[in-house]
Structure 1
């Protein structure tokens, strides 16, 4: 690149001096210790990063039923196509491996990390440290990895040995070995980042898969929509009440994951048949069930959909949106 060290040194000096003279760019803000701590939430396989706190299997059972069972089943068996959390031992080397916490997961500490970081699905990072310890302990108990008196904390987690831990190892191979070709490349304009994985992610729970008030997702809640199931399609123009309009955003954030697909027995929004008996109970009962939680014949409704940051009014508004979409 440079034919002599002197030329290179002169070039370097010019670049550095020019950068220094330019001064601060004025982009962004200073990363304070508080900001860094907010992002520094990962927990390593060796347990580094686990916080102070603890939880029990007994406490985890109630928390699991309220916040996890609607998707993962009361015993970790999984509802619909949502992930199974228990069982699967001895299946990993078969034609139909079942990857669960008991059969596949390598470290107890990273189980805590995943739950704390990403669960519940409708309200990630809403669990306290102690709640996360308790739910993790209960899931380990469901897989016969710990007994019912186990107390989970940073010290006891370090002593938990997962059944499949020995089958994980450091892969030292280079992560990129081939040269870039830049031939027959697809048009970048056709690329799309999606949040589902074909054949893996349960379908129907994202708004693009839902048959509910299609135009509502385009910002027009009172537009004509196709609602209902494949057996009962309506093109009736829906005119939402003010309460339901307020509930649209809450539904998108906290309800549609279950109610747009009907998983775990949740009545699918827009399915008139599924909602008719519920609507007949009256709005007061529906609101109480949604706010406090409810064990029905078809499944479990977690209190506030598992998102306890919602106010009672938020939940009432969302219920109004679902009911008016399903009449």
Structure 2
């Protein structure tokens, strides 16, 4: 099975049992504190996330899979390169994982192929494939199956691959021997906690999604909270800071799949140019990309905010002109963020 997985582009597979009862108290406490924000589906499914056999009756084992996603052409000093992007206020920064093809599509198709290969050898069996697409405790299952340990940023970390990888699962009705979990290796390091721009990692191993830039730019549908807007800088889709700073990511692996190679326009592009995309152009350029799921309106909201942050720093009249072009946008959400962005010029005395 490991050989089949490697042929399909997976870096590692493991097996977990289905008794996740030890994780239930932590899940309940996280939900009770409202740390899931507007992700109502997290609360709606409740403890089913920690009970695989309730989600898919008959499940007795969970196969977990890891797939590295750094693009093949990623520089050796990629962490420094990505931090430098954040120092160029007029450049729009998209999270590394989202610069290529939608991982949901890639992993789901390949997990199904892995299931098909298994069926050829053992006969038909009950199974269901997941890739961040259902109430599944992915990180918990990954940690239990030896993919890595939970880092203080709550992501799974591997000594061989850092955290720059996707996770997927196959719930099966076949009893398989469980993999051995690995011990944690964060030690006294608190780099991810310290670097978070919005202090979303409120304590080691505890994330308040309502302050997380990835949540705010992707999951959150309404206005970005005023007090957090300056902290987003030029990040327009997701945030990698807690991964960029992590010492273990010097071991992050490049993907062998062309699916995750960077698409034109999603790396190194200027905010003004990105803000000019019409809805048709947005849909065309993000076809098959995870970015498409936020829609054109939220895309403009995020960029307007980043333009305001850039305007505060640079006073560039080209930014003012770009914002004014959308001051009467049909969307109230966009208009409000454009107005906020233009007000940043006044705040710095450049009116």
Q: TM-score, normalised by structure 2?
A: 0.26
More helix by share: 2
Q: Greater Rg, structure 1 or structure 2?
A: 1
